[in-house]
Amino acid sequence: MSIQEEHHIKKISFIQSLVELLPFNEWNNKLLEEAEEKCGFAKGYSLIVFPESLSEIVGFLEEYLDNIMLGSLKIIAEPSKIREKISLAVKIRVKTVLPIIHSKNAAYFVLNPIQGTEVAFRSCDAIWRYAGDKSLDFNYYTKRSLLLSVYVSSILFYIQDESDNYIETDKFIETAVENIVKTFSQMKKLLAPSNIPIVRMFT
């Protein structure tokens, strides 16, 4: 086993311990110390595994949850439409939050706004890639930025949802995804060369 592989295994071990402790703890040093003890690390060893401390831990945790989402999607029949794929993925990803986060708070909310947005953006990227998107141009950022608004607002809706089986959250996500699909379609039409006056002059 390489040093990199051993290092990664220790990261996973720490995050799994963290996941078990999160329902009963706030995000603080005590939580990290308990996670260290639970997975057999010496006190302060998490700073060796995650030298950037909390921001790196939260980033790795969110990546871990993204992988849980992707694993769940692999064993579910894949919807035929892109919007249905996105809705399904968002529903699954959002619902990884409740079982493990104290007070139903998403992990990235403990970061500063810029870091939190970066972490959430990566989750949106994973969702779009699951849906088959391979864009690398302007569309790449547009699609993920639109989905980011849906993803974060869906979590905020979800943590307050008291409906049976969170059916209201599912409806919220479906409507929100439908709206961004329409928005993106309208943007594509507006940016089409035939709709740009200066371009029309030469056609």
| Beta-carbon contacts of residue 201 (< 8 Å; ≥ 6 apart) | none
Write out pLDDT tens, residues 52-92.
988 899 899 999 999 999 999 999 999 999 999 999 999 99
Residue 183's domain comprises 77-200
The owner of tokens 């998490």 is 46
User: What's the confidence (pLDDT) of residue 98?
Assistant: 62
Residue 24 lies in a domain: no
Residue 42 lies in a domain: no
User: What's the confidence (pLDDT) of residue 96?
Assistant: 85
Residue 58 lies in a domain: no
Q: Which of 129, 75, 64, 150 is CA-nearest to residue 101?
A: 64
pLDDT at position 193 over 70: no
Tell me which range, 96-100, 115-119, 168-172, is most confidently predicted by mean pLDDT: 168-172
| Beta-carbon contacts of residue 129 (< 8 Å; ≥ 6 apart) | none
Total domain count, the chain? 1
User: What's the confidence (pLDDT) of residue 101?
Assistant: 57
Quickly state the pLDDT bin for 105 (edges 50, 70, 90): low
Write out pLDDT tens, residues 131-154.
999 888 888 998 999 999 999 999
The encoded tokens of residue 72 equal: 């769940």
Residue 116 lies in a domain: yes
Residue 123 lies in a domain: yes
